[in-house]
Amino acid sequence: MKKPNIIVFLSDDQGVWASGCYGNTEIITPNIDKIAEKGIQFNNFFVATPVCSPSRATFLTGMIPSQHGIHDYISEGNTGKTSIQYLKETITYTDILSDNGWTCGISGKWHLGSSEIPQHGFSDWYVHQKGGGPYYNAPMIKNGELINEPGYITDAITNQAINLLDKYSKNTSPFYISVHYTAPHGPWINNHPKEILDYYNDCKFESCPQEPRHPWAIWLTDENLGNIDSLKGYFAAVTAMDKGIGNILNKLDDLGLTNDTLVIFTSDNGFSCGQKGFWGKGNGTNPRNMYENSIKVPAIFSQPGTIPMGKIETEMISAYDFFPTIIDYVNLPVNNDNKLPGTSFKEALLNSNYKGKDDIVIFDEYGPVRMIRTKEWKYVHRYPKGPNELYNLIKDNNERNNLINYKKYELLISDLKSKMDKWFLQYVNPNKDGINQNPNLDGQQGLLP
């Protein structure tokens, strides 16, 4: 069997609700929708933590944060003499692909430390210096040099990916390309092309109901909760990214490589734009939250002729399943010496008659906040003293009614807590355990011991 090429589109802060194929009739995403039409759309795909850097590390390593040691977005250690190579001692799936003949390149956001240094199998390295920032004159690293990229950064990331396609198509070996957009991460106002912003001049944004301010909300005031310019900017960022994705897919077609290439679209964490009364992800509230909009992301896989077309999969999948699935998909062995918690969902990708499993349980963490989610229940435990939450997701899928203080659920809570503790005990590295973090810290605080 021919080794497939792989392109992974990874957006930044994209809610699962923020694309047409997931039911949003207001946002313009024809190219993301086209990937879904030609492949499989997962409607219950969860990140391992609702914030960017640790989530990206889990995608790459298959480890949970309390294994790889990144627990929050990396605010320091990206460039210069104080830079830290956070995943230096960790094997990523790109290491394995590179070792087995794939040529690997990245265009866009890295945000896992030491942005100046090509690492983990990538031979081509065009990345953001930090994790986010302005869309015009963005701080990037190109050919080993710190630059400010002229023009619109979404277009620059797209153009570099197209350059890599031109370059790699001339090789006989397979290729892997990470296209890591900074979109739709803020800033949203005065940062996006007018012609795309104008698409949303008459939009009512009914897909983003501006609910009353959440009591835990941070980073906003009642006055800007429903700021129309922020909503237009967020939607425009998604649409501009979608346009770039379309250009890359067209290039893949032009090169005759579409059927030979696994295309994946997903995001590093979810996002709320006023839903539940706050803007943001897991750190959009204090205490940190595990709401569905924060932990659930779009996830679409396509390879015409190999993956069934137009399928919607409802089985629950976690980002810690991503690493073993990629390796399994290209028929390489998964070495589990590092006690990876995930399992391959390759069968779900290839078998059109796949029925899914009902007994899957999802586990998440964000520092001292941990979650267990079954098909019916979600229990959130905050160390050391709460507040904790319990939701019946069948009857209350919007997580409005916290059942934590109802006596009749005490045995259920005890059982869920016991299962959660047992699972984390199996995989946590005691030296990198997020449970010991100060819940009031903001950003990754260097390497854990």
Q: Is the residue at 245 inside a domain?
A: yes
DSSP character at residue 187? P
How many angstroms separate the Cα of 9 from the Cα of each of 31, 178, 183, 440?
12, 6, 11, 32
The whole-number pLDDT of residue 388 equals 98
Domain count, the chain: 1
Percent over 90 (pLDDT), the chain: 88
- The pLDDT value given to residue 338: 67
Asked if omega into 187 is within 30° of 0 (cis), the reply is yes
Residues 6+ apart with CB under 8 A from 254: none
The whole-angstrom separation of Cα 177 and Cα 5 is: 8
Contacts of 158 (CB under 8 A, 6+ apart): 107, 179, 244, 245, 247, 248
pTM greater than the 0.85 cutoff: yes
Instruction: Check if the beta carbon of residue 48 is closer than 8 Å to that of residue 423.
Output: no
- Token pair in block for residue 322: 């991503």
**Would 430 be classed as within a structural domain?**
no
Residues making up the chain, counted from first to last: 449
Q: Other C-beta atoms within 10 Å of 133: how many?
A: 18
pLDDT at 214 over 90: yes
Asked if the peptide bond before residue 368 counts as cis, ω within 30 degrees of 0, the response is: no
Q: Is 29 part of a structural domain of the chain?
A: yes
Closest-CA residue to 281 (of 63, 12, 66, 43): 12
CA-to-CA dists, residue 192 to 174, 233, 237, 240, 422, angstroms: 35, 7, 7, 8, 47
pLDDT tens digit sequence for 6-60: 999 999 999 999 999 999 999 999 999 999 999 999 999 999 999 999 999 999 9
Nearest CA among 198, 270, 275 for reference residue 239: 198
pLDDT in tens, 189-199: 999 999 999 99
Coil vs helix vs strand at 239: helix
Q: Is residue 359's pLDDT more than 80?
A: yes
Rounded mean pLDDT, 376-382: 98
Using CA atoms of 68, 71, 73, 76 in order, give the dihedral in degrees to the nearest 10. Answer: -80
Q: What CATH number did the domain enclosing 334 receive?
A: 3.40.720.10
Which residues, including other chains, have CB under 8 Å from residue 293's CB and lie 6 or more apart?
15, 16, 17, 270, 271, 272, 275, 276
Residue 271 is assigned to a structural domain of this protein: yes
Mean predicted lDDT score pLDDT of the chain: 95
Pick the residue with more confidence: 405 or 353?
405
pLDDT in tens, 78-134: 888 888 999 998 999 999 999 999 999 999 999 999 999 999 999 999 999 999 999
> Is 372 inside any structural domain?
no
Alpha carbon distances (Å) from 312 to 14, 17, 172, 181, 315? 19, 15, 34, 25, 9
Q: Is residue 337 in a domain?
A: yes
Provide mean pLDDT across the span 61-79.
Answer: 93
Boundaries of domain holding 62 = 5-353
pLDDT at 449: 63
β-strands 103-108, 122-128 pairing: parallel
Residue with tokens 């990198």: 432
Contacts of 196 (CB under 8 A, 6+ apart): 236, 239, 240, 243
Identify whether 448 is part of a domain. Answer: no
pLDDT at 273 over 70: yes
Instruction: Tell me the percentage of the chain whose pLDDT exceeds 70.
Output: 98
